[in-house]
Structure 1
Amino acid sequence: MRDNNKVFHLAIPCKELDETVDFYEKMGCKLARRYDDRVTFDFFGDQLVCHLSPENIDAEPSMYPRHFGITFLDKEEYEKTLAFAIKKDLPFFNKPMVRFEGKREEHLTFFLIDPANNLLEFKYYHDAEMAY
């Protein structure tokens, strides 16, 4: 079980540290640490570490199977995040859409792409039980 004293950690590749910092700070993430080979962010309450690794960048990223992001339990938070991404002119990989329309697992989603072609999904399920 995850309690409030636990933080999820994810490490991903980046091709250049400055552009990575610019992107994630523009998204509203707080830079926690910076070293010569990586940067660490507070990514919506979890820890995201971007390791300088230009040789490991996906040249042609696809949504599946590799992406990460946030599942909102509050529709208003999802909508605010979408409006923020549009206002900040963040790069969309996929525009907002409805997945599994008409099914119990129906959800709203959009994908952003960071400078190293990592894909970030933001989604909201109409049925909160489908978030897991």
Structure 2
Amino acid sequence: MRDTNKVFHLAIPCKDLDETVDFYEKLGCRLARRYHDRVTFDFFGDQVVCHLNPDKIDPAPKMYPRHFGVTFLNREEFDQALEHATTNELPFFQELMVRFAGKIEEHVTFFLIDPANNLLEFKYYHDEGMVY
């Protein structure tokens, strides 16, 4: 498991700072800093920095292999994230689905797409031992 004295950092492109802030705040992320060329968020306890770079936006994103997100250890928190995304009308790239049904690595997952076509996956494994 992860030590609590570490924070994962991810930097991704965005095309517009205002729409990026709107999306991530609706997702429940706290805006930590804003500059003329980037915004930094508390993304479920980790750090996501969205750098203004409209020329680097993927026009046709695919789920695999490029996405990031959160793996919940608590099913209630996963369900709350799904409800939060639905209530705030965030755009789904992939609705709720079950992967690897009937296998030990079975999990539920959904994908959101942010305004810069970055894909975010949220998932919950029924067997916590399959998280890693």
Equivalent position SS for 1:55:
helix
The code of the aligned residue for 2:24 comes to: Y
Q: How high is the TM-score relative to the length of structure 1?
A: 0.97
Matched, 1:31 2:34: no
Task: Tell me if 1:71 matches 2:71.
Answer: yes
Q: Does 1:80 align with 2:42?
A: no
After the TM superposition, which parts of structure 1 deviate over 2 Å for at least 4 consecutive aligned residues? none
| Cα RMSD (Å) | 0.9
The TM-score, its normalising length taken from structure 2, stands at 0.97
**Secondary structure, counterpart of 1:95 in structure 2:** strand
Where structure 1 has 5 or more consecutive residues not aligned to the other structure, the ranges are: none
Partner of 1:8: 8
The 2-side partners of 1:42 and 1:75 are apart by: 21
Match of 2:44 in 1: 44
What secondary structure is seen at the aligned counterpart in 1 of 2:78? helix
Partner residue of 1:90? 90
- How many residue pairs get matched? 132
Q: Please state how far the C-alpha of 1:26 moved relative to its aligned partner.
A: 0.8
Which structure 2 residue ranges, 5 or more long, are not aligned? none
Q: Tell me, in whole angstroms, the C-alpha distance in 2 between the residues paired with 1:79 and 1:131.
A: 17
What is the deviation of 1:2?
3.6
Distance 1:43 1:118 in 2: 14
% identity of equivalent residues: 74
Deviation at 1:5, TM superposition (A): 1.5
